Amino acid sequence: MEGLVRPGEPKIAAMQPTRLSNILLATLVFAALLVPALVFLTATPSRAIFEFTVRDEIELGQKFNLAVRAQLPIIEDPEIQGYIHDMANRIKAAMPPQPFDINAEVVRSNMLNAFAGPAGYTFFFSGLILEFEHESDLAGVMAHEFAHVSQRHLADRIQKSRIIGPASLIGAIAAAFLGGGQTGAALAVGAQAAGHSAMLSYSRENEREADQVGMNYLIRAGYNPWGLVRGFQIMRRKQWFAGRDIPTYLSTHPGLPERIDYISSRVELLPAEIRNRAEDDDRFLRVKMLIRSRYTDTTLAMGYYDNKPQSEWTCTDRLGNAILLERLNRMTEARERYQEALACAPNDSLYLRESGRFYFQTGDFDRAGELLQKAVVVNPRDAMSLFYYARLLGERKQFAQALDYMERVKQRLPEDPEVRQHLGRLYGNSGNAFQGHLQLAYAALYRNDKRQTEFQRQQADRLATTEADKKALEDFAEAHSARAEFWR
What is the per-residue pLDDT across 379-431, written as a single tens digit (0 to 9) for each?
A: 998 999 999 999 999 999 999 999 999 999 999 989 889 999 999 999 999 99
Q: Is residue 223, in this structure, part of any structural domain at all?
A: yes
pLDDT digits (tens, 9 = 90+) for 204-246: 899 999 999 999 999 999 999 999 999 999 888 876 555 444 4
Decide: 38 and 59 in contact? Cβ < 8 Å.
yes
The pLDDT score that the predictor gives to residue 446 is: 87
* 84: Cβ contacts below 8 Å, ≥ 6 apart: 104, 105, 106, 124, 287
Go through the chain and tell me how many residues it has.
488
H or E element in which residue 426 lies: helix 417-430
Q: How far apart are CA 180 and CA 73, in angstroms?
A: 19
**Residue 335 confidence (pLDDT):** 98
Ranges of residues in the chain with a pLDDT under 50 are 2-3, 5-48, 180-191, 193, 243-247
Residue 394 forms part of a structural domain: no
Contact between residue 70 and residue 30 where contact means Cβ atoms under 8 Å apart: yes
- In which region does residue 74 sit, left (phi positive, over 0), alpha (psi from -120 to 50) or beta (all else)? beta
- As a three-state string, the secondary structure of 242-268 is CCCCCCCHHHHCCCHHHHHHHHHHHHH
Q: Are the C-beta atoms of residues 212 and 204 closer than 8 Å to each other?
A: no
Which pLDDT score is estimated for 71?
77
Query: Which pLDDT score, from 0 to 100, does residue 44 have?
Result: 40
Residue 45 belongs to some domain of the structure? yes
Q: Please check whether residue 229 lies inside any domain of the structure.
A: yes
Number of domains in the chain: 1
What residues does 122 pair with on adjacent strands? Answer: 104, 116
> Does some domain include residue 286?
no
SS3 104: strand
Is there a contact between 342 and 359 (Cβ–Cβ < 8 Å)?
A: no
Residue 142 lies in a domain: yes
pLDDT of residue 177: 74
pTM above 0.75, yes or no: yes
> What count of other Cβ atoms lies within 10 Å of the Cβ of residue 8?
7
- 54 in any annotated domain: yes
Query: Would you state the pLDDT for residue 188?
Result: 39
The helix or strand, by DSSP H or E, that contains position 105, with its residue range, turns out to be: strand 103-107
Q: 104, 58 in Cβ contact below 8 A?
A: no
Q: Which residues are CB-neighbours of 423 under 8 A, at least 6 positions away?
A: 403, 406, 407, 409, 410, 439
Inside any domain, residue 281: no
pLDDT score for 40: 45
Range(s) of the domain holding residue 95: 20-275
Q: What is the pLDDT of residue 349?
A: 96
- Distance (Å, whole) CA 441 – CA 223: 46
Helix or strand or coil: residue 313? coil
pLDDT tens across 148-182, in order?
Answer: 999 999 888 888 877 666 666 777 777 677 764 43
pLDDT confidence of residue 200: 64
Query: Which sign does the torsion angle of CA 249, 253, 255, 261 carry?
Result: negative
Residue-level pLDDT at 76: 87
Alpha helix segments (H runs only) across 4-112? 20-33, 54-71, 78-92
How many angstroms separate the CA atoms of 273 and 224, rounded?
Answer: 10
Task: Spell out the residues 6+ positions from residue 261 whose beta carbon is closer than 8 angstroms to its own.
Answer: none
Q: For position 199, what pLDDT does the model report? A: 63
What is the rounded distance in angstroms from the CA atom of residue 141 to the CA atom of residue 103? 14
